[in-house]
Structure 1
Amino acid sequence: MRLPVTPTTTLWRDLRDRVRRQSPAGRVIVAVDGLDGAGKTVFADGLAEVFAETGDAVFRAGIDGFHRPRIERYARGRRSPEGFYLDSYDYPTFRRVLIDPFRDGAQTAAATGFQLAAFDVVRDAPVESQWVTAPLDAVLVVDGIFLNRPQLRDLWDWSIWLDVPFEMAFARMALRDGSDPDPDAPANARYRQGQELYLDEARPREAASVIVDNTDLARPRIVGHG
C-alpha cells in the first residue's frame, strides 16, 4: 500500500531515489543515525516502506537488537559515559549474523541466511535465532545510535544523520520512557556525555551521506551532506 503524500513521505521518497541512483541494484544497506530521541526508528520504518512501494525487498533491523549483556554494558560502572559509548553493543555479532551474511548473499545464488536481531535487552538474554533470506537485490535499513563510529562506517552504502538538539531529544525520551527531560539532569549524564563522546570522536554529521533536520517530525528537511 502506498503511503499518503506528506512533507515527511515526500522526503523519504526523495532519499529513496537518491539511494537508488547511486545503487540501482544488488544488496544495499542504509543506516539511520542520530541522538537517542532523534526519531530514528519511525524515520527508518517509513524509509523502508517507501522502498517497498517500488517493489524492493526490504528488511529492517535496529542496533538495539544487538545489545551486549547487562554485566558487560555496566562493567565500567552504571553511570559511566565511556561505558555507554564503548560497551553498549555487540558489534562483532552484529557483523557476523547480519551484515556479513546479508552482503555475502549478493555474491552467490545459494540462499545465505541472516539474523535481524540477536539480543533482547529487556530480558537481558539472547533471542531465539530466526534466520531469513533475501533475493539478490534487497535493501536493509538499520537504525540506531553510534552507527557512524569509525569501525562501522564501511558497512553502509548510504547513511542519514537525523539532527535534533539535545533538549528536543531528551524531551522526546521523557515522553517515551518517563525519564527526566532535562539534558543536564544527573540521571542523564551517562547518556548525554556518552553521546557527546561519540559526536567528538566520530563526527557523524561529517560522515553521513545526508543530514536531515528532524526537529519538526511533520516537516523534516535536508540541511546538508557529510
Structure 2
Amino acid sequence: MMIRPISPAKLVEELADRLAADAPGERLRVAVDGAGAAGPGELAAALVDPLRVRGRAALHVPADGFLRPASLRYEFGRRNPDAFYEGWLDEAGLVREVLGPAGPGGSGRVLPSLWDATADRATRAPYRQLPEDGIVLVSGPFLLGGMLTFDVAVHLTQSAAALARRTPDSELWTVPAFARYDDEVAPATFADVVVRMDDPRHPALVENA
C-alpha cells in the first residue's frame, strides 16, 4: 500500500478524470462516503463542474436529504450513536428515488432530495432527468456495505484522533458510530478509491488499497 499526498484541487481533477472515463455511454452511481468532518459533500460538489467539462453531466445528491422523519430518527433519543448508524438514513427511499432510476435499465428520473430533516417534512424537490451517460454523486456517511448499490465507491477515511479533533463538540456523540462502521464494514478495505482526510486541506490517496 502506498500513500500519495495530493492537493485538494489535484484530487478533484484525478477523480474527475477517472469517473469521466468509467462506463462511457452509461449512467454511473458514485458514493462519496465519509464522516462529515472528512468533507464528502464538499468533494462531491467540487466534482460536478469538472465532470461536466469532461462531457459527463453530474448531479450531487447529499444523503442528508434522505434522512428518516424525526419520530423514527429520535426513537431512542436524539444522541444515540447506534440509532444514528443503523436508522437515520432512509436507504429504501434512496434506492427508490436515486440509485434505482440511475442504475441499469432505470428511467434516469432522479429525486435530488426527499426529506428536510430541519423542518421535518418532505422537500417537494422537483425530479431531475439524468442523461444516459450522467453521473450521480451521493455523499454522506455509512453508504457502503449495506443495501445501497454503487458502481464506484470513494471512501474518505480519518484516524480516530483526527475524527474526534475535527468533529464539532455538538456532534461528538456520533464518533462511536464511525468506529463501529470501521470495525463492522471496513470500507477502506474494498472501496475503489480511498482518500486519507486527517486534514482535508492535505489529502492523501491510498493506492493499491
Query: Which category describes the TM-score, using the shorter chain as reference length?
Result: 0.7 to 0.9
> What's the C-alpha RMSD, in Å, of the aligned pairs?
2.1
Percent of paired sites with the same residue: 27
| Structure 2 CA distance for partners of 1:215 and 1:195, relative to 1, 3 Å | closer
Q: Given the alignment of the two structures, is residue 219 of structure 1 paired with residue 202 of structure 2, yes or no?
A: yes
Equivalenced residue count is: 204
> CA shift at 1:136, angstroms?
1.1
How many Å apart are 1:215 and its aligned residue?
A: 2.7
1:22/1:129 Cα in 2 relative to 1: closer, same or farther (>3 Å)?
A: closer
CA distance in 2, matches of 1:68, 1:26: 30
1:152-183: per-residue Cα shift (whole Å, max 9, x none)? 2xx21111111222333344342xxxx35xxx
Alignment of 1:73-152 (within 5 A): 73-103=73-103, 107=105, 112-152=108-148
Q: TM-score, normalised by structure 1?
A: 0.81
Give the superposition deviation at 1:220: 1.8
* TM-score (norm: length of structure 2): 0.87
Distance 1:194 1:216, change over 3 A: closer
Indicate the SS of the match to 1:216.
Answer: coil
The 8 Å contact of residues 59 and 136 in structure 2, kept in 1 or not, is answered as yes
Structure 2, unaligned runs of 5 or more: 1-5
Question: 1:118: how far off?
Answer: 0.1
Q: Specify the structure having the higher radius of gyration (Cα).
A: 1
Residue 112 of structure 1: how far off its partner (Å)? 4.4
Higher normalized contact order (CA 8 Å, seq sep 6+, divided by chain length)? 2
CA separation in 2, counterparts of 1:126 and 1:62? 15
**AA in 2 matched with 1:98:** V
Superposed, which structure 2 residues align to 1:2-41 within 5 Å? 7-41=7-41
The offset of 1:88, in angstroms, is 0.5
Q: 1:200 aligns with which of 169, 183, 187?
A: 183
Structure 1 distance, partners of 2:59, 2:49, is 10
2:153 alignment partner in structure 1? 159
Aligned partners of 1:76 and 1:82 also within 8 Å:
no
Could you tell me how far apart the structure 1 residues matched to 2:150 and 2:22 are? 13
Which structure 1 residue ranges, 4+ long, deviate > 4 Å from structure 2?
none
Unaligned runs of 5+ residues in structure 1 are 1-5, 181-186
